[in-house]
Amino acid sequence: MNSVTATSREVNSFVHEETLPLKSTDVHSYDTIEEDRLKGVTSILDESNDISTTYFQLLRDNVNYRYYWLSYVANHMGEWMTYLASISLIQDITLRNSIGNTTDRVNTLISILILVKLLPNVFFMPLGGVLADQYDRRKVQVTLDLTCSLLVLLFLTAAYCESIILLYLATFLQECFSGLYIPSNSAMLPMLANDSDSELQKATTLSGLTWSLMAAIGSSTGGLLVAVFGVQGCFMIDSLTYLISATLLAYRVEGTFVATEEEKKKQKKRASSITITRTTTNGCAVNNGGSDVFWTNAEFHAAIQHEEHQCIVDGGTDDDGDLTPEQQSQWSMFLYGLRFAFVDSPMVGCYALLKGTAALAFGATDVLNVSFSARGTEDNPSLTSFKLGALFGCVGIGCIIGSVLCDMLVALSRPLTIVRLCLTGFLLISLGCLTMGLFPDHFVCICLSGVVRSTGSSLVWINSVLLLQKYSPPILLGRVQSIDVASALLGEAISAMGGGLLMDNAGISPEQLSILLACISIGWFVFWSPFLACKTPKVPFSSDS
């Protein structure tokens, strides 16, 4: 009887070996196989529940993310108001002082403001990336929020003294702190997503959507507040928003957000979840946390090498003496981030440059918005401010559309779709700039062109973030994203400064500059398409890997 039972189990085991993938190390018994099958069904059901995650459910169920999001809202609302108030202050000062030909100087002065606003981020963001990977990301943000709230005194002094130099200084200091802030803010997001690709995608898209809403509401409201309360009122509101942001992060977001501890947990989870289920002559099927992925032998060996390499980075070998990021110099940490992005995984480096190349096309559009908003209303500053707020509001609307398109079309399981949406963004940027150049005398057309252009920039911005979060190890995410955003800000600064100088000193009209920007965007689309449209990095790093 026992021999019959044993034979029966062997037959059952043989049947299941033919129909189910087997581990290369052993042969499952019938009971073990049935248990694995039940786990597979449970995994599928869990994945199904993940997909059904909505924005409301995300904000309702994930308390930490909810208060992180509210902090994000407060922070960015104030920034847009200050930006509009600063532009209005420059216009008022130049018109009031009437030094030389002020109409020819305004574009350059505003370009300098944009340059001063962007360049500190370029230089301080890599350091911010190191801070994000070395210290508690929440505490870094709280400290910087409190520091920025004190800068209102310098902004108010600039307005009282009617000093553009002081305004530049206040903006410079504010953006230095912002450069340190952004990497911690961005790198903290995946740590709030509860190891879920679906939740990470929703959280990232919602953050982009929120930025767009703040661009639309903050800029439009900023134009109105300048007329009602003056620029001083906008500066004081900005200070208040920093305090609100710091309070929410300090007292409502719970937990410790240190990259090294998070990575160690993920390494253990990754080591326990990856199993080889079937070997073939060409490769192996790998089960990574419930989802089957087929890798070639070369890809599998690359994955093993990556695991060993990550172990070295985390201090997991006998040779390195349990090295941690705190024991590395900040410069060596930054250089390692560069090496990972551009040597070890060059496709990730390409993704990190997508924003920067797109920014070369859309960066000068802020200067164009100022020029087009002043047409026909040079003697009516209030109406000019209202039109400028409307144009920036259209930018926010376009970014909202881009965020919605990302939510509808993007799936982290289909990375090529994400890449192709980025490339589509370059085409939309070109179309928007071309429309602005061809129909400059119709304010409605200018507004519509802003919607189209910013839809494209939103597609590039959000999808490039998703690609970096998918393919970057968490311990390096702060540094990789600092490279990404720094390149975007550098491209935007070059574009804005170049656009202002070309209009004021080279005699190029706003229409001609718009067409030039359209050509730049098309050029980058042609450049990136052969590299990115048909392939992704060999070894994927999901958000929970």
In this predicted structure, the answer to whether residue 517 has a pLDDT above a threshold of 90 is: yes
Tell me how far the alpha carbon of residue 267 is from its chain's centroid.
24
What are 351-402's pLDDT values in tens digits?
888 999 999 999 888 888 888 887 776 667 677 777 887 888 888 888 888 8
Distances from the Cα of 181 to the Cαs of 2, 140, 366, 481, in angstroms? 69, 7, 23, 12
What are 88-109's pLDDT values in tens digits?
888 888 877 764 444 557 888 8
Tell me how far the alpha carbon of residue 107 is from its chain's centroid.
29
Query: Which of 91-95, 213-217, 419-423 has the lowest average pLDDT?
Result: 213-217
Q: Compute the average pLDDT of residues 203-213.
A: 76
Q: Report which DSSP code applies to 196.
A: -
In this predicted structure, the answer to whether residue 516 has a pLDDT above a threshold of 70 is: yes
Q: How much is the pLDDT for 53?
A: 54
What are 158-177's pLDDT values in tens digits?
999 889 999 999 999 999 99
In this predicted structure, the answer to whether residue 519 has a pLDDT above a threshold of 90 is: yes
Of 511, 355, 446, 392, whose CA–CA distance to 86 is shortest?
Answer: 392
pLDDT class of 13 with cuts at 50, 70, 90: very low
Q: How much is the pLDDT for 68?
A: 92
In one-letter notation, the amino acid at residue 345 is: S
Q: Are strands 283-288 and 291-296 parallel, antiparallel or unpaired?
A: antiparallel
Of 534, 416, 407, whose CA–CA distance to 462 is shortest?
Answer: 407
Q: How much is the pLDDT for 12?
A: 43
CB 75 within 8 Å of CB 245: yes
Given the candidates 3.30.300.130, 1.20.1250.20, 3.40.50.720, 1.10.3720.10, the CATH classification of the domain at 62-257+335-532 is 1.20.1250.20
* Termini Cα distance of the chain: 48
Q: How much is the pLDDT for 523?
A: 94
d(C-alpha 536, C-alpha 349), whole Å: 12
In this predicted structure, the answer to whether residue 42 has a pLDDT above a threshold of 60 is: no
Could you tell me the two tokens for 370? 């100022």
In this predicted structure, the answer to whether residue 296 has a pLDDT above a threshold of 50 is: no
Give the residue ranges of DSSP H helices in 410-509: 415-438, 443-471, 474-505
Q: How much is the pLDDT for 329?
A: 60
Residue 288 in 3-state DSSP? strand
In this predicted structure, the answer to whether residue 30 has a pLDDT above a threshold of 60 is: no
Q: Compute the average pLDDT of residues 472-486.
A: 78
Rounded percentage of the chain residues whose pLDDT exceeds 70: 71
CB 468 within 8 Å of CB 363: no
**Packing angle between helix 63-97 and helix 381-409, nearest 10 degrees?**
150
Helix (H), strand (E) at residue 293: strand 291-296
In one-letter notation, the amino acid at residue 389 is: G
Burial class, 51, CB count within 10 angstroms (exposed 0-12 / middle 13-18 / buried 19+): exposed
Q: Compute the average pLDDT of residues 127-137.
A: 86
CB 404 within 8 Å of CB 460: no
Higher pLDDT, 202 or 137: 137
Helix (H), strand (E) at residue 278: strand 274-279
In this predicted structure, the answer to whether residue 250 has a pLDDT above a threshold of 50 is: yes
pLDDT class of 251 with cuts at 50, 70, 90: very high
Q: How much is the pLDDT for 1?
A: 45
Q: How much is the pLDDT for 462?
A: 83
pLDDT class of 246 with cuts at 50, 70, 90: very high
CB 121 within 8 Å of CB 492: no
In this predicted structure, the answer to whether residue 240 has a pLDDT above a threshold of 50 is: yes
What are 305-321's pLDDT values in tens digits?
444 444 434 443 334 33
Of these ranges, 93-107, 207-221, 410-424, 527-541, the one predicted with the greatest mean pLDDT is 410-424
Q: How much is the pLDDT for 119?
A: 81
Q: Compute the average pLDDT of residues 495-523.
A: 89
In this predicted structure, the answer to whether residue 140 has a pLDDT above a threshold of 70 is: yes
Could you tell me the two tokens for 2? 């026992």
Residues 6+ positions from 406 with CB-CB distance below 8 Å: 205, 208, 421, 458, 459, 462, 463, 466
In this predicted structure, the answer to whether residue 145 has a pLDDT above a threshold of 90 is: yes
- Mean pLDDT, the chain, whole residue set: 74
Higher pLDDT, 541 or 125: 125
Q: How much is the pLDDT for 477?
A: 74
Please state the domain extents for the chain: 62-257+335-532, 260-319
Helix (H), strand (E) at residue 287: strand 283-288
Residue position matching structure tokens 């494209």:
456
d(C-alpha 482, C-alpha 144), whole Å: 17
In this predicted structure, the answer to whether residue 513 has a pLDDT above a threshold of 60 is: yes
CB 355 within 8 Å of CB 362: no
Q: How much is the pLDDT for 299?
A: 38
Q: How much is the pLDDT for 126?
A: 79
In this predicted structure, the answer to whether residue 280 has a pLDDT above a threshold of 50 is: no
